[in-house]
């Protein structure tokens, strides 16, 4: 059976020793008094919930899946899911980082980030039910009317109601300008919506009394394309003036998707047949509000793969220490046994260290993004808010795509460590591979993220935001450039920092002549940028570890961190050289292929 131990020590290292988050919070009035002990205590309890309550339901939930009653359109979640959700709500976990005005606890977003990493490790399918609510909450908190906030946010904050995002339709995925769902204005100011949505995660379930669907639809006079999309609140049950639940709305689950993974989550086909809704924000400005939700979801999906990377690594490591097969190439290591544990073999260590390096690098990036998001929402200095928003915009597609690509890679490598047993359900590894695969697809495929990064976030402002991140890299290089002990981390980072400027300029010039050049280079470009970001954080983590060791700290945690940093820079970071070469190969070898693809 699989195991999971919350990585609290590493979370504490990133938060308090590398990023010093409580120092950052001192400039934010509502978090100025938040200390490390409070954060650590909350996350320790959160780790218990993840490992003791929802982790035991992961394999059984995958086996059982969700069941739809075709007559009532009600969905039953796997055994134990509903009870675990009740425990989650009673523990106050839903309200952790929500606005106190609506019943939230008002803790920093970094606490919620770490809690959700642990819950994703424990049970991604279960975690998606409350997880999607955070995106819906964020959209309504930003663009909802006072009445909408009063009606919905307290219930979503407490976890009494969950939320969804209803975007995709059978004929359109990412291209939301093609959607056909209609919204007809009514005399009382509401709207009647009609249409069909598919792939709606947590779209129907038995865990809460109501589900708040945020639905994209078109008004009768809407302009064509994406500029004619509006956003609506369409609850499963209409809500009365006093906030209580009213009659059933004309929105229901018409079917459940039969999926490769995340079987414990209800991925619903939603039928909307004259359902009553209220508009969020301005008419034909739905994408403005939806992007609040989508960006939150993209960070959340990166966090899903971070969680899977961690739990897959933990299980592969435990197995590699226990499983004996053959002898070490340099002679027997376990002389009292007929064979050595497979962890003595170099390639097994390569697979384990790949997962470990991607998990720990991803954790640093995810926590950094949560601090940026905090500044965007709450920092009193307008310039800091703007700079943080720019940086977060740059890092969001990297977080979504780089972490999910790495997560699938890591899960597959960890499955490989198990050999034949990795292919067998009872060990849990094949589920991690299946679950990890969706994260590369939904909330905008990773190619879409790559196009967003290169086309919009980098070339769209002539590299201005990329240069801001480059300044962070440059400052670290200046600080540690003469430190011989940091050379193995700083030198390759400095070289890539210089190369990426020329690399970006080349692609930009080629793209001006032929836009397909950007499309051809984008996926490779994102991975190069991802390694630049990971390299920066790994160098910072190595910096802290070296300082602690030099100060006489004998904690093996720091030695382990250095060894992992060395592995990352020696074995994973050099991928950038190949990626830049393949990106420079251009679009012709892809687009001049009509005969090959006939």
pLDDT tens string 488-545: 999 999 999 999 999 999 999 999 999 999 999 999 999 999 999 999 999 999 999 9
Please count the other Cβ atoms lying within 10 Å of the Cβ belonging to residue 452.
22
CB 73 within 8 A of CB 254: yes
In this structure, what DSSP letter does residue 243 have? S
10 Å CB burial of residue 2 (0-12, 13-18, 19+) is buried
- CA 513-518-519 angle, to 5 degrees, is 125
Q: Are 44 and 118 in contact (CB under 8 A)?
A: no
CB 278 within 8 A of CB 289: no
Widest CA span of the chain, in angstroms?
84
Q: Strand 210-217 relative to strand 161-166: parallel, antiparallel, unpaired?
A: parallel
The residues that are catalytic are: 443
pLDDT of residue 293: 83
What parts of the chain have a pLDDT lower than 70?
Answer: none
How far the first Cα of the chain sits from its last, in Å, is: 48
- 3-state SS, one letter per residue, for 472-518: HHHHHHHHHCCCHHHHHHHHHHHHHHHHHHHHHHHHHHHHHHCCHHH
DSSP conformational letter for 113: H
Length of the chain: 598
Tokens of 375: 């500044």
Half-sphere exposure (Cβ direction) of 185: Cα atoms closer than 13 Å: 8
From the list 171, 170, 166, the residue with the least C-alpha distance to 229 is 166
Give the position of tokens 């290089």: 477
Nearest to 346 by CA among 336, 333, 335: 333
In this prediction the pTM is 0.98
d(C-alpha 262, C-alpha 62), whole Å: 7
- pLDDT value at position 289? 85
Tell me the pairing of strands 182-185 and 267-280: unpaired
C-alpha span between 514 and 505 (Å, rounded) = 14
pLDDT score at 295: 87
> Rounded distance, CA 335 to CA 348, Å?
20
Write out the two tokens for 226. Answer: 């994406």
Burial class (CB in 10 A: 0-12, 13-18, 19+), 69: exposed
Which residues touch 79 (CB under 8 Å, ≥6 apart)? 57, 60, 61, 64
């Amino acid at each position: 059976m699989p195991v999971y131990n919350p990585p609290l020590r590493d979370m504490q290292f990133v938060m308090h020793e590398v990023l010093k988050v409580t120092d950052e919070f001192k400039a934010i009035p509502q978090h100025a008094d938040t200390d490390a002990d409070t954060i650590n205590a909350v996350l320790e309890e959160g780790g218990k919930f993840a490992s003791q309550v929802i982790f035991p339901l992961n394999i059984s939930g995958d086996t059982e899946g969700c069941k739809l009653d075709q007559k009532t359109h009600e969905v039953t979640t796997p055994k134990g899911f509903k009870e675990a959700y009740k425990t989650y709500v009673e523990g106050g976990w839903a309200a952790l980082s929500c606005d106190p005005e609506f019943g939230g606890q008002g803790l920093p977003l970094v606490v919620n980030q770490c809690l959700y990493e642990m819950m994703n490790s424990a049970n991604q399918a279960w975690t998606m039910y409350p997880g999607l609510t955070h995106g819906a909450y964020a959209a309504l908190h930003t663009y909802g009317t006072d009445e909408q906030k009063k009606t919905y946010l307290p219930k979503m904050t407490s976890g009494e109601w969950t939320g969804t995002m209803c975007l995709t339709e059978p004929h359109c995925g990412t291209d939301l300008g093609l959607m056909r769902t209609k919204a007809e204005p009514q005399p009382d100011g509401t709207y009647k919506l009609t249409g069909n949505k598919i792939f709606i995660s947590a779209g129907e379930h038995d865990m809460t009394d109501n589900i708040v669907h945020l639905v994209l639809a078109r008004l009768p006079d809407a302009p064509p394309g994406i500029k004619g999309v509006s956003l609506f609140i369409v609850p499963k049950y209409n809500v009365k003036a006093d906030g209580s639940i009213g009659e059933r709305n004309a929105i229901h689950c018409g079917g459940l998707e039969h999926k490769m993974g995340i079987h414990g989550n209800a991925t619903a086909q939603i039928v909307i047949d004259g359902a009553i809704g209220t508009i969020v924000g301005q008419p034909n400005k739905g994408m403005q509000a939806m992007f609040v939700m989508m960006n939150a979801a993209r960070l959340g999906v990166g966090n899903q793969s971070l969680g899977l990377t961690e739990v897959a690594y933990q299980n592969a490591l435990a197995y590699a220490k226990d499983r004996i097969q053959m002898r070490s190439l340099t002679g027997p290591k376990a002389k009292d046994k007929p064979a050595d544990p497979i962890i003595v073999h170099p390639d097994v260590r390569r697979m384990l260290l790949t997962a470990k390096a991607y998990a720990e690098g991803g954790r640093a990036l995810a926590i950094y993004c949560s601090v940026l998001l905090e500044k965007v929402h709450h920092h009193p200095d307008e310039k800091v808010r703007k700079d943080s928003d720019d940086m977060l915009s740059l890092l969001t597609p990297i977080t979504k795509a780089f972490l999910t690509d790495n997560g699938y890679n890591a899960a597959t490598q960890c499955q490989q460590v198990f050999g034949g047993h990795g292919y067998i359900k009872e060990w849990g590894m094949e589920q991690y591979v299946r679950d990890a695969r969706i994260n590369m697809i939904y909330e905008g495929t990773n190619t879409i993220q790559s196009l967003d990064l290169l086309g919009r976030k980098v070339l769209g402002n002539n590299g201005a935001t990329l240069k801001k991140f480059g300044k962070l890299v440059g400052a670290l290089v200046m600080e540690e450039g003469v430190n011989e002990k940091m050379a193995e981390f700083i030198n390759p980072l400095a070289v890539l920092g210089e190369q990426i400027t020329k690399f970006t300029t080349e692609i930009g010039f080629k793209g001006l002549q032929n836009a397909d050049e950007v499309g051809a280079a984008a996926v490779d470009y994102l991975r190069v940028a991802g390694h630049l970001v990971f390299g920066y954080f790994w160098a910072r983590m190595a910096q802290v570890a070296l300082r602690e060791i030099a100060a006489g700290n004998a904690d093996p945690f720091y030695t382990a961190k250095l060894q992992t940093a060395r592995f990352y820079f020696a074995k994973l970071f050099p991928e950038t050289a190949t990626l830049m070469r393949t990106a420079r190969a251009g679009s012709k070898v892809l687009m001049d292929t009509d005969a090959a693809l006939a």
